[in-house]
Structures are given as C-alpha cells and as structure tokens.
A and B are shown apart, each in its own frame.
Chain A
C-alpha cells in the first residue's frame, strides 16, 4: 500500500514540477524581457489587416458526431484493457464474448460511415 502511495506521489511531484518549471522560466524571462504593450500590439493578428468581426465567431464544428462515437469506443477501450490482461486465464469463453462485443461496436461504426458523416459537404 505504501509503495502504491509513493508511486503516485512521484507522479504528482512530476506534474507539479512541470507547472513550477513553466512558472519559473516565465518569471525569469519577465525580469529581462521588455514590456511595452500598445493597443496596436494587442490587436488580434489577422495576417496584417485589421481584424474583421470577433475572434469568437460562429464556427461549424465538423465531425461532432464522431466525438459521440469516440466516447463509445473509448469506453470500449477501458473494457478491453482488463480483458486483455486476464485473457490467458479466462480462455475461449472470454474470446467469444469480446468478439461479439467488438462486432456490435463495428456495426455502429459501419452505420455512421454509411450515413455519410465522413463526407465533407
């Protein structure tokens, strides 16, 4: 149990150090870099011309259907990992079960592709 805790403490420490590294370097840079913002500098960049409209304009989010499909497949991946680890001891029964599971999911993928979600119109 203690070793388990230590391992994830290591992970936490690494993550925290990543943030400290960025903060430290940015802080160090702020000591020597100039800071002279003017309205023209702070304007949104649009290849040199004055920006037209706002930056948060309406955008068509393509492939949002696949974001839903991704969710399903990602959950599937979470199910497959424990299955993959214990496959040897579970044997043929687990094999058939997973084939049926993956088969059903593949049908869903096939349906989405046949619906023409991948076509850009």
Chain B
C-alpha cells in the first residue's frame, strides 16, 4: 500500500507545483507584453513611453501600475447588481487560468495533456464571454450595457471562424491533443503554417484578435466612445483583474496559435525537451508583437463591418478550408 500512497502524494504535490509554475508563466508572460505594449506603442507614435520607473527604460512601469491599482479605493456603484458585479472578474480569471492547462511547453512539460486538448481550450475560453457580459449588464451603466452587448455579438460572430479554422488543423493532425498536434508537425517536417493551413492561420489570428477585444475589433471597450465599455464602472484591483486577464489571454491565445500553426515547442535542429519552452516563448513573442503592431496602426471597425467580415467572409472561407483539407486528407 505504501507505494500507492506515495504516488498519491506525488500527484498532489506535482499539482501544486504545476499551478504555481503556470501562475508564474501567466504573470511572467503578461508583464513583458504589457511593458512591450507601452514601449512599442510609444515608439510607433514617436514618443518615448515609460522612462523613470525602475531606472533603465522604465522597465518597472507595469509593476508600478499594478501596485498603484492595489491601493486604490474599490467602488461598487449604487445602481449596480452587487453579486453579479463582483462575480464577473472571478469568471474571467478562472477561464484564463484553465486555458493554460493544455499549453505544451515541451513534450513532457504540460499541466495535463487532455485527449480533448484544443476542444477543451475553445470551450473553456468562451466562459470569459460570460464574464464580460455579466460585467456589462451588472454595472447598471449605459456605456457598460452597450459594451457588454457589443462584446457578446462580436464574440458570437468570431467564435465560429476560430473553431472552424482549428478543424483544418485537427483534420491534418488527426488528433485533438496539443502534444499530438505538435508531434504531427515535427513528423511532417514543417509547421502547419507552411504545410497547408496558411489560410486557417490567418483566420485564426483575425478571430483571436476579435475574441480578445483588441483593435481593430475593440468596439466593446472603445475608449473614445464608450469610455472602456463594460469596464467603465470597475475601479481599483477589480479593474486590474480584467486588465491582467486580457494580457494573460494574449499570452494564452498566442501560445495556442503557435502550437497549432507554428510548430509549438519544436524547431528544426533544436532538442524539444531542452529548448522547447524557449522556442515557444519566442513564437509567442512574435505573435504578441504582431498583435501590438496591428493595434497601433489600424483604426477601429464599425459594428456592421465587423459582422459582415465574420459572416460573409471568414465563416465561408473557413468552411471552404475544411473541405479542401478534407479532400487532400482523403485523396492523398
């Protein structure tokens, strides 16, 4: 009986370590991206950006911002639906953290290699939509209500291209497991981006921008018209939770896109077990930079343009991509 007990303890100990490690990855991934966003946006607009906090380059600016929010008063508007208002950030953080479970950093370095893999990630990440809708509704504010409804309409429209783009990859890899998808790309010799899923990658990337409410799809928060939309009434650390979840979402979805289309932890000539996490981090960095670049160069879309793009273009194209991929899979 003793060895069995030892295994049990090991599992729970490992679970705690995994949770701490992934929380570290979430924060350690988000803070550089927040800092990158500040600096890159500044340079794209011929500004200097953060300069003083922490000394050189103002590298401590994201931490300073976090600490500032930490000591700010936390207001719940009198008109708000208190319970729902307070519950919304929890839902967002839960779904964000749960997505990280299936991200493979190397063949063995993964919290849990679920058989459902990518399907689970798509399912659990739609939970955050609910959090956004709850935040928008419960604030009792017109800006928030409009922002929340816009977010719901947008995420409904772009959820489909996201899911349908993934199906192309699933057909080619023949598995839903994230490790399995990466191994299929390593076996093939080239990532799926080159090996037949370029269209799916573009669709996935556009749809993930919309899912993250980032420009050009930032209508739900639209600072200049809706004053941050569903976040208008949030203050103090509750606001920071939303902010952090957004950037953790950038890390998560970049990592998922890298795994599905860019070969994940694999790179030609590098040992996956040893260099896997660094290879993945580099790919996440490239995709995050792309997102920041797009945010600071493109204007916001109009609501009907946004819906038209999804329903008239992305969904039919992604369905066509599925058919073409399926034909290739069956015939060749």
Interface positions of A (Cβ within 8 A of B) = 6-11, 13-19, 21-23, 25-26, 28-30, 32-37, 39, 41-47, 51, 54-57, 59, 61-63, 66-67, 70, 73-74, 77, 80-81, 84-85, 87-88, 91-92, 95, 98-99, 102, 106, 109, 112-113, 118-120
> Assuming the A-B contacts A18-B93, A21-B97, A32-B71, are A113 and B312 also in contact, with contact meaning beta carbons closer than 8 angstroms in the complex?
yes
Contact of A46 among B142, B238, B323, B327 (CB under 8 A): B142
Q: Are B163 and A77 in contact (CB under 8 A)?
A: yes
**Nearest CB to that of A41 among chain B residues?**
B75
Cβ B114 vs Cβ A14 within 8 A: no
Asked, given contacts A17-B19, A35-B73, A119-B304, whether A81 binds B141 with beta carbons under 8 Å apart, the answer is: no
Number of A-B contacts (CB under 8 A): 205
A-B contact pairs, 20 of them (CB 8 A): A7-B113, A13-B15, A14-B101, A16-B94, A33-B74, A42-B76, A45-B141, A47-B227, A54-B140, A56-B145, A61-B149, A63-B157, A66-B153, A70-B156, A77-B160, A84-B167, A85-B175, A87-B330, A98-B323, A102-B322
The interface residues of chain B lying within 8 Å CB-to-CB of A17 are: 19, 23, 97
| Min CB–CB distance B276 → chain A (angstroms) | 20
Contacts of A62 in B (CB 8 A): 149, 153, 303
Would you call A118 and B304 a contact (CB within 8 A)?
A: yes
Complex interface bits, B299-318 against A, C-beta within 8 A gives 1, otherwise 0: 00001100110011001100
Closest CB of chain A to B177's CB: distance in Å? 11
A26 to B29, CA, bound (A): 21
Are A36 and B142 also in contact (CB < 8 A) when A63-B307, A95-B327, A102-B322 are? no
Using known A-B contacts A33-B70, A81-B176, determine if residue A23 contacts B90 with beta carbons closer than 8 Å: yes
B77 within 8 A of partner (CB): yes
Contact in complex: A42, B156 (CB < 8 Å):
no
- Give the distance in Å from the alpha carbon of A30 to the alpha carbon of B76 in the complex: 13
Q: What separation, in Å, do the CA atoms of A9 and B143 have in the docked complex?
A: 39
- Taking chain A's interface residues, is the majority helix, strand, or loop, or is none over half, making it mixed? helix
Q: Which residues of chain B come closer than 8 Å to A44, judged between CB atoms? A: 77-79, 140-141, 233
Known: A62-B153, A66-B307. A10 touches B101 (CB 8 A): yes
Interfacial chain A residues near B97, Cβ < 8 Å: 14-15, 17-18, 21
Which B196-252 residues have a C-beta within 8 angstroms of A?
227, 232-233, 236-238, 241
